[in-house]
Amino acid sequence: MPPIRSRRLVPALLGALVAVTVLLTGCTGSPRSAPPGQTEPASPTPELSSAVPSPSAAESPSPSPTPSPTRKPSPKPSPTKSRTESGALSCKSTVPLVRSPASGHGPAGSVSVTGTQNVALTFDDGPDPINTPKMLDMLKQCGVKATFCLVGFRARDHPDLVRRIVAEGHTVCNHSWQHLLDLADDKRTDAYIKRDLEHTNEVIHAAAPDAKIRYFRAPGGNFTPRLVQIAKDLGMTSIYWSLDPRDWESSKYGTGSSMTNHVISAVESGVRPGSIVLSHDNGKPTTIAAYRVLLPWLKARFRLIALPTDT
């Protein structure tokens, strides 16, 4: 009997040993082969556009950002009116200004100052059908009289403006028939120059018979003793200027607002008691814009006059 019990015990022990081995193998996490006839599924390859964050990243949320203080917006400046804005002018203020008087003489004995504390504004090369009426409107709003140096053929073409200039109390000045810069050239005879000036006076008088033409300004200010004398023989005083803002020199000062601002600055800084100020209305809208600022400024500081015709 004892030998039979030994034979039965051995197989039982072997079976138990196998069971323990299988159990231990599963616990170690060793890879298991797929059953015969099946293929193990391939590990998924993540797409770049749908990458899944690692558990550590997903499980560690970013700290909430500390809200930065909200900056109060800077207050917007209140809109300011352009100095050359359209509309009626106001010329009622008075501002004391102390400056030494203008002095000196123009070329060939021409006159460059008023000889008083008064300032004379002069506008050359018109009348201009667009700009001259605008200038006249502004002068009227401010109660200012000025002097208009008229070119003969333009006075002929715009007699209505000549009449208005005279009717509103402004002085007219002879600025030659067609603004030839060589009018004073030695090649021009006395007879030619005299006829040029006479013809200009005739068309001015045709438009405004009562106009007193007491002044002559040479084209470009090119006075010579001979030209001054011929004008004097015709009863006209030759006038130059003491202040030229050079509103005609666009090659240096630009156009548009650049020129307008230059004219304003040049006149405000350069005008003195007794000045004769040169400006142009013909073809110069920038000058018109400048005088929207200058007229109130000048009237507040000076007495503005048309050059007298009773001398």
Q: Which residues are catalytic?
A: 124, 280
Enter the DSSP assignment of 177. Answer: S
C-alpha to C-alpha distance for 290 and 84, rounded to whole angstroms? 7
C-alpha to C-alpha distance for 264 and 240, rounded to whole angstroms? 20
Of 167, 99, 103, the C-alpha closest to 148 is: 167
Residue labelled with tokens 């197989």: 11
* 30-36 contacts at long range (C-beta below 8 A, 24 or more positions apart): none
Enter the DSSP assignment of 275. Answer: B
Is-cis flag, bond preceding 127, omega within 30? yes
Of 174, 161, 164, the C-alpha closest to 124 is: 174
Residue labelled with tokens 């900056």: 71
